[in-house]
Amino acid sequence: MNEFSPPLKLAFISVHTSPLAQLGVQKSGGMNVYLHELARELGRRGHHIDIFTHRPDPAGREVDGSMGAGSRVIHLALKGLPGPRSQEELFEARQQFAAGVIRFATRNPIRYDLVYSHYWLSGWVAEKLKEIWQIPFIQMFHTLGQMKHRIANRSFPSTRTREELRITERADAIIAATPAERAQLRWLYRANRRKIHIVPPGVDTDFFQPRPAEPARRHLALPPQAKVLLFVGRIEPLKAVDDILKALAQIRVLRPAVFRELRLLIVGGNPHELGPIRQLATRLALREKDTVHFLGPLPHSELPRAYAAADAVIMPSDYESFGMVALEALASGRPVIATQVGGLAHLIEDGHTGYHIPTREPGILADRILHLLSHEKTAAAMGHNAAISAQRYSWQRIGDELLAIFQRLLSSVQRDR
Ligand code: UDP
């Protein structure tokens, strides 16, 4: 904040998921981290941020200020909707949600300057708030339905597509995480080019920074000389964890000596979600606790240690709108082997900070893993480059870029009045 920019009051809308939710299971991942970290960054600068989200636990408290100065999470109870609910049910409850936000702001009382809405489910609410409060709204989709469903080869749910089209039309500005997302917004949703601003998510470069492997491995009871590969993320088919297991099975045949030293850590997923992956590991005779370690979902605070323990982080995703995990791995000074899709195509520089691989090619993944593990100097240089490349994404810089957009938008609205 400088002398020209008074503190802003911002309402973030995230109907279906809370920044305080447990990460790495069900639908909680990058977007939750984005909201949490951005709100903290802006809060530290003296702005006020309220993040409105659905309250799945009726006994839970409405206002949670545990995120630190300047930011609060407001959990809104929806009548008839206790417990985690489907996206369809939450969409049906959109009027009730918008009414809850308005009631909160009237009761407390607070006048927001701007609404920042996340994911398609929040757009309707944001538009309503814009109408009633006469303030602008900015949208970030995080994933676009048409992209996700194209990749998964499923038909598009029409409600989501219709909503995304409408939000694209009505939002005062749209934040795209990558140039690829901007192109998708332009071509698939006919978005006005002038509305779209490319601002990627950030990473906490003090929290995620290069750390020595040895203490981390000791903590995780891994042999110090092991070759450690790491996967972090929600367990869903598009993340292609199965390809990592298939690659390991190929390495066993190609280079048995390397295979004996290999350890794959899988972070994320509840027992139900991990069921099919465990079955595949058994079918491929990859022994648990020997080759494959299922660490389950880890609190974000424990992730620096997981990255520190790894020689490389593997992301063979079919699609990734951004890929915070890749960014955290780079900031931790670890090379990333990832498919060249969505945000991963921009985050990783092939041969410089990691390797790009084609989707669904476990043989090529195996080859790249072997190459990296057998060229220690190259791997170390890549790790060094990786940490440097992540500096561009510090939350401080991302916060500056977003605030500049917020402020430009607010002054243009004032001028038009
Ligand atoms: N994450 C975590 N604990 C876990 C699994 C994941 O803290 O057990 C975090 C991870 O550090 C990253 C986010 O969840 O910040 C996942 O974001 P990404 O963009 O990679 O994937 P998404 O969930 O958005 O598909």
pLDDT digits (tens, 9 = 90+) for 285-340: 999 889 999 999 999 999 999 999 999 999 999 999 999 999 999 999 999 999 99
State how beta strands 63-64 and 71-76 pair.
antiparallel
Cα distances (angstroms) measured from residue 97 to each of 35, 55, 156, 359, 402: 19, 10, 25, 39, 26
Mutate to test the pocket of ligand 1, among 140, 265, 325, 339 (most ligand atoms within 8 A of CB): 325
For the chain, what is the largest distance between any 2 Cα atoms, rounded to a whole number of angstroms?
Answer: 71
Which ligand 1 atom is the nearest neighbour of the CA of 326? 20
pLDDT digits (tens, 9 = 90+) for 356-385: 999 999 999 999 999 999 999 999 999 999
Q: Is the CB of 328 under 6 A from ligand 1?
A: yes
pLDDT class for 58, splitting at 50, 70, 90?
confident
For residue 151, the model assigns a pLDDT of: 78
CATH of region 213-392: 3.40.50.2000
Integer Cα distance of 128 and 132 in angstroms: 6
Ligand 1 centre and the CA of 415: distance in Å? 40
User: Per DSSP, what are the bridge partners of residue 314?
Assistant: 337
User: Per DSSP, what are the bridge partners of residue 11?
Assistant: 50, 115
For residue 169, the model assigns a pLDDT of: 97
Q: Is the CB of 200 under 6 A from ligand 1?
A: no
Burial of 167 (0-12, 13-18, 19+ CB in 10 A): buried
| 9-202+394-416 and 213-392, same CATH topology | yes
Question: Could you tell me which residue, 224 or 124, shows the higher pLDDT?
Answer: 124
Q: Write down the domain spans for the chain.
A: 9-202+394-416, 213-392
315 with 231: CB under 8 angstroms? yes
Q: Is the CB of 234 under 6 A from ligand 1?
A: yes
**Share of residues in the chain with pLDDT > 70 (%):** 97
Query: Among candidates 90, 137, 95, 94, which has minimal Cα distance to 112?
Result: 137
Q: Is the CB of 140 under 6 A from ligand 1?
A: no
pLDDT digits (tens, 9 = 90+) for 74-93: 999 988 766 667 888 999 99
Q: Is the CB of 233 under 6 A from ligand 1?
A: yes
Q: Is the CB of 268 under 6 A from ligand 1?
A: yes
Residue range 9-202+394-416 in CATH 3.40.190.10? no
Burial of 283 (0-12, 13-18, 19+ CB in 10 A): exposed
Integer Cα distance of 144 and 53 in angstroms: 20
Ligand 1 centre and the CA of 102: distance in Å? 31
